[in-house]
Structure 1
Amino acid sequence: MPRGSNAKRERQYEHIKDSAKERGTSERRAEEIAARTVNKERARAGESRTASRSSTEDMSSSRRGGQRSHSGSGGPTKEQLYNEARQRGIEGRSTMTKAELNKALGR
């Protein structure tokens, strides 16, 4: 959790971290995503001492919703889809293509 945060930001951090892990992201990457998002929100709200121009002038990370992540890739990776299919107990997932996993998950 970033230093100097309040209870609201700690809850936000945990929520973002848990969401990233549910999507199949590693623990370390989930923590990084959560910390960056919370730090940006703190900067936008004037809760941090220093803030980059992109943090204060850019579209908020919650509104952007990952639009620029993976530089325009076709949504979640096959590995992320596979992990979600495993969590849902979808049979035959190991032999499915990315498109088949998408279809089986109802996307």
Structure 2
Amino acid sequence: MPRGSKAKYTAEQKRKAAHIEAGYEDKGVPKDEAEARAWATVNKQSGGGEKAGGSGQRTPAAEKRAARHSSAERAAASRKGHARNSKASLDTQTKDSLLKEARVKNIRGRSTMSKQELIDALRKAG
């Protein structure tokens, strides 16, 4: 038998676990094992019992928008107001970021270039 109280689970989660358990039992899995697998499946799909706040781990759309906006502002601030392809901006980017830009601009030999070579090639590509 699985450990822990199932009181925190919603009716839907309990029905789902019962349905999964019945499916395992139909396949010949012992009752205790079927129950354990069923609850493990429910936990994997929904993250466990009811969460405080009602809707589980769902983040509201407005909160996601605010987080994206904040992230964009931080990225812009990290470039310190420099144009995307300026010397200061290119110097602060990671090699992966530079490689992506080089790929977009179809710069040949980019995969074997060092970070400084990528910066130089991106400057030449304009």
TM-score (normalizing by structure 1)? 0.39
Indicate the structure (1 or 2) with the bigger Cα radius of gyration.
2
TM-score, normalised to structure 2, is: 0.33
- Larger RCO (CA within 8 A; separation ≥ 6): 1
